[in-house]
């Protein structure tokens, strides 16, 4: 997209410049065993590696002018810490808690505690699988759940969260010195 347009009579129209501090920031967390994507149970989770998935997410984030922070952990405590830390510096969370979806009250409590809009993602349709996967401790504190679309689910989540955050007025004031979002970040 051009940064400026030269109109008749030398009038120059500039496009809004997104300074890093004006950009939405979203933390994206992958839970246990997702580091094995691409080789793990390919008939369920496909052949795309985590690195390739993260690249696709980063590409979309650039298009949407969103800053993303992507992390994977096999440890419940580390995921809880990353959720807690997000409170001060991020506008929302996308999380695939993997097996912790079905067991972790700690991750649920962390999401509830920080109060950031959170989308739960699963590559597979957990509701079509074994009974123990039907229950999600996370769904009750998420704004939504996306399951069954494979890697595209993360892209849908990013678009959905971006839409949720902008539609709720976070970026309405990007030209001002202090956006509602920045104020919220400071006071959280």
Task: Write out the catalytic residue numbers.
Answer: 45, 122
**E strand or H helix that includes residue 71:** strand 66-72
74, 121, 130 from 98: Cα distances, Å: 9, 9, 14
Counts of helices then strands in the chain (DSSP H, E):
6, 7
- Residue 133 is a binding residue for ligand DQA (CB under 6 A): yes
* Contact (Cβ atoms closer than 8 angstroms) between residue 35 and residue 74: yes
Q: How many residues bind ligand DQA (CB under 6 A)?
A: 10
Member of 68, 86, 98, 116 binding ligand DQA (CB under 6 A): 98
CA distance 49 to 57: 12
Q: Which residues pair with 122 in a beta bridge?
A: 147
- Residue 122 is a binding residue for ligand DQA (CB under 6 A): yes
**Smallest gap from residue 120 Cβ to ligand DQA (A):** 9
Pick out residues in 143-182 that bind ligand DQA (CB under 6 A): none
Choose the stretch contacting ligand DQA; rule: CB under 6 A; options: 66-74, 83-91, 93-101, 163-171: 93-101
The binding site for ligand DQA (CB under 6 A) comprises 33, 96, 98-99, 101, 122-124, 126, 133
């Amino acid at each position: 997209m051009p940064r400026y347009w030269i109109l008749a009579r030398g009038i120059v129209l500039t496009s809004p410049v997104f300074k890093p501090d004006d950009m939405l920031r979203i933390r994206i967390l992958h839970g246990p065993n997702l580091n094995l994507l691409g080789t793990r149970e390919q008939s369920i989770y496909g052949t795309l590696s985590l690195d390739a998935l993260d690249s696709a997410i980063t590409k979309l984030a650039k298009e949407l002018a969103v800053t993303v922070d992507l992390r994977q952990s096999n440890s419940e405590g580390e995921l809880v810490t990353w959720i807690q830390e997000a409170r001060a510096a991020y506008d929302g969370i996308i999380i695939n808690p993997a097996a912790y979806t079905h067991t972790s009250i700690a991750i649920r409590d962390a999401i509830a505690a920080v109060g950031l809009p959170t989308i739960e993602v699963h590559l597979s349709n957990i509701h079509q699988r074994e009974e123990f996967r039907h229950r999600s401790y996370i769904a009750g504190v998420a704004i939504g759940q996306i399951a069954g679309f494979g890697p595209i689910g993360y892209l849908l989540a990013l678009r959905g969260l971006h839409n949720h955050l902008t539609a709720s007025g976070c970026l309405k004031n990007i030209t001002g010195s202090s956006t509602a979002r920045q104020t919220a970040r400071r006071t959280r």
